[in-house]
């Protein structure tokens, strides 16, 4: 767990101190997307190799669907509240 926090904090510090060259900065979005695809691919392989997951796929599918819908709904509600709270105040100050 600490490794993740240290890596994230190191990346933040490098960006905050403007130590990222422009050539890399312009490609970070593509690198991030490619990394995400690799992570999802590896996770798919790991899930596909797990016999327990394959055996209980019907039960897991329903639970995963319910959790996904809940996560999406929660994200939409919290994002809506955050946008209304943060951006409306900022917009009112500019008026």
- The confidence score (pLDDT) of residue 89 equals 60
* Total number of domains in the chain: 2
How would you write the chain as a 3-class SS string?
A: CHHHHHHHHHHHHHHHCCCCCHHHHCCHHHHHHHHHHHHHHHHHHHHHHCHHHHHCHHHHHHHHHHHHHHHHHHHHHHHHHHHHHHHHHHHHHHC
Please give the residue that has the higher pLDDT: either 59 or 71.
71
Same domain? For 67 and 36 the reply is no
* Residues of the domain holding 67: 56-95
Same domain? For 30 and 60 the reply is no
Confidence of residue 47 (pLDDT cuts 50, 70, 90): confident
Same domain? For 44 and 73 the reply is no
Average pLDDT of every residue of the chain: 86
Residue 50, pLDDT above cutoff 80: yes
Same domain? For 79 and 45 the reply is no
């Amino acid at each position: 767990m600490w490794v993740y926090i240290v890596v994230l904090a190191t990346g933040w510090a490098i960006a905050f101190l403007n130590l990222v060259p422009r050539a890399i900065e312009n490609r970070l979005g593509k690198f991030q997307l490619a990394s995400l695809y690799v992570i999802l691919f590896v996770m798919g392989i790991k899930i596909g190799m797990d016999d327990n997951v394959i055996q209980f796929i019907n039960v897991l599918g329903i639970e995963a669907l319910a959790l996904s819908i809940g996560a999406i709904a929660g994200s939409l509600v919290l994002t809506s509240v955050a946008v209304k709270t943060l951006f409306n105040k900022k917009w009112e100050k500019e008026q």
